[in-house]
Each structure stands twice: as structure tokens, then as C-alpha cells.
């Protein structure tokens, strides 16, 4: 029985939502599709290649803010892009773990190139422009990884040892035990603001370090 690549990707994403990445196997995927395992390897040479394709589908489905809009500031784009990326990862079980280690696919290239141009045109040097997107992406990925890992933990009470540290206990109870998704979002937004603030300070340093263009002297018209 012939099976299309897109069918495999859609079934893999559905299976990942159902069982999670640790219980996912190509054998289970083949059974779900009603094919023999070798039929999967006609399209994907290994599980990593399959996850690359699943990640690309996940991003196309949920990450709609990858290209800067005309006239959009780099600050506004950085925040919108990070929020959109986070939402896409949170939409699926283990979304962060699926994405980790993947490489940009064909559908990502336009957005990555436009992002580089946005930062470079804003005045960032080439190195900072190149790594800013990566830094923000890894911040988002780490944030979601922690959020999704917490979802897999059983309900817990606060360790009695925290009684010896009242300030820490108050913070943990407020933001980690009682906070839930609202605290996760608040933590994410604060981190994002700190990154953008830091980039603004870095940009100011870069601009200040650049030599001021010299104004050419006007030749005297007197004889």
C-alpha cells in the first residue's frame, strides 16, 4: 500500500499528541497507518528526519509571525515572533522537544533571511544580527521545555525544607505552586522584555562605537 509523505507527518503528529515523545515509535506509527515499517523509510531515512518534517508542519500550522511586516520595528517583531513561536510549541504535546535539534526547513528560509535584514538594517553589527534570532529562539524553546515538563509531573506539596527560607518559600508558593499558566506567561513576558532591553543597550553601544562620518570641507571660492 502506497502512502504519501504528508499522511505520515500528520499521523506522526497525532500519535505524538496521544502518547508523547518518549512512547513514540515508528512501529506504532506504522500500525496506526496500517503499513509495514519499511514504507516509512521510503520517505524518511530515520526518526530524526521524520521529526524534522513534523516540526516543519507544526511551525506552518501554528507559527504565523516569522516574517517582519513592512514598517515594523525590530523590537515589536522580536516580541511578536517569540510569542507566536511559543504558542506553536505549546499547541502540541512535547512541542519543544520535537523542535529541539531541528534545522530550518524550506518554509523557514524566507523568514530567517527577512529577520537578518531587519536587525542589520536597524544598525546591529553582523555578528549580533546573526545570533539575535538564535538567542531569542533558544529562550522560547527553554521556556516551553520547562512548562511542558511541569505538565508531566504529579501533584506535589511544597517540601518542608522551604520553611527555613521564608522569602524563597513565598516566591515559590506564589509563582510556581499557585501560579499555573498565568505565572508561566508572566515569567516568559518578563524574560522577553529583559532580552529586548538588553538588545537596545547593545545597539546603543554599537552605534556609539562607530566612527562619525567626517563632513568634507568646502573649498574656498576666494582667489
CATH classification of the domain holding 176: 1.10.357.10
Mean pLDDT, rounded, for 158-184: 76
Say whether pLDDT at 221 is over 70: no
pLDDT band at 106 (very low <50, low <70, confident <90, very high): confident
Is residue 108 a part of any domain in this protein?
A: yes
Alpha helices for 42-125 (secondary structure H): 47-62, 74-90, 95-99, 109-122
Supply the pLDDT for residue 103.
80
What pLDDT, on a 0 to 100 scale, did the predictor assign at position 176? Answer: 65
Q: How many CA atoms lie within 13 A of 86 on its CB side?
A: 23
**Could you tell me the sign of the dihedral formed by the alpha carbons of 80, 82, 83, 84, in that order?**
positive
Window from 115-119, 124-128, 177-181 with minimum mean pLDDT: 177-181
Q: Establish if 154 belongs to a structural domain.
A: yes
pTM for this model (two decimals): 0.85
What pLDDT, on a 0 to 100 scale, did the predictor assign at position 215?
A: 65
Would you say residue 211 lies in a domain?
no
In whole angstroms, what is the distance from residue 160 CA to residue 146 CA?
23
- The rounded distance, in Å, linking the Cα atoms of 167 and 213 is 53
Domain membership of residue 4 (yes or no) is no
The mean per-residue pLDDT over the stretch 106-134 comes to 92
Give the Cα separation of 33 and 164 in Å (integer): 55
Q: 147 and 186 in contact (C-beta within 8 Å)?
A: no
Q: Which residue segment(s) compose the domain that 104 sits in? A: 66-203
Q: How many domains are there within the chain?
A: 1
Q: What is the pLDDT of residues 5-50, one digit of tens each?
A: 999 999 999 999 999 999 999 999 999 999 999 999 899 999 999 9
Residue 138: half-sphere exposure toward Cβ, Cα within 13 Å: 6
Q: Is the dihedral of CA 152, 144, 86, 106 positive or negative?
A: negative
Predicted local confidence at residue 108, as pLDDT: 82
Amino acid at each position: 500500500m502506497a502512502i504519501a509523505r504528508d499522511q505520515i507527518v500528520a499521523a506522526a503528529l497525532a500519535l505524538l499528541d496521544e502518547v508523547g515523545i518518549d512512547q513514540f515509535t515508528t512501529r506504532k506509527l506504522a500500525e496506526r497507518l496500517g503499513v509495514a515499517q519499511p514504507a516509512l523509510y521510503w520517505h524518511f531515512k530515520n526518526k530524526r528526519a521524520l521529526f524534522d518534517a513534523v516540526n516543519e508542519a507544526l511551525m506552518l500550522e501554528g507559527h504565523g509571525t516569522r516574517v517582519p511586516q513592512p514598517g515594523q520595528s525590530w523590537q515589536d517583531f522580536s516580541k511578536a515572533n517569540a510569542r507566536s513561536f511559543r504558542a506553536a510549541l505549546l499547541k502540541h504535546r512535547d512541542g519543544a522537544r520535537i523542535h529541539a535539534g531541528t534545522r530550518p526547513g524550506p518554509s523557514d528560509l524566507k523568514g530567517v533571511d527577512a529577520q537578518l535584514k531587519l536587525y542589520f538594517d536597524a544598525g546591529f553589527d553582523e555578528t549580533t544580527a546573526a545570533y539575535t534570532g538564535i538567542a531569542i529562539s533558544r529562550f522560547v524553546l527553554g521556556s516551553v521545555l520547562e512548562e511542558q515538563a511541569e505538565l508531566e509531573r504529579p501533584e506535589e506539596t511544597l517540601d518542608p525544607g522551604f520553611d527555613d527560607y521564608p522569602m524563597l518559600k513565598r516566591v515559590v508558593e506564589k509563582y510556581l505552586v499557585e501560579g499555573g499558566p498565568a505565572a508561566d506567561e508572566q515569567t516568559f513576558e518578563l524574560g522577553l522584555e529583559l532580552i529586548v532591553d538588553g538588545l537596545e543597550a547593545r545597539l546603543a553601544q554599537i552605534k556609539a562605537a562607530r566612527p562619525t562620518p567626517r563632513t568634507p570641507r568646502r573649498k574656498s571660492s576666494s582667489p
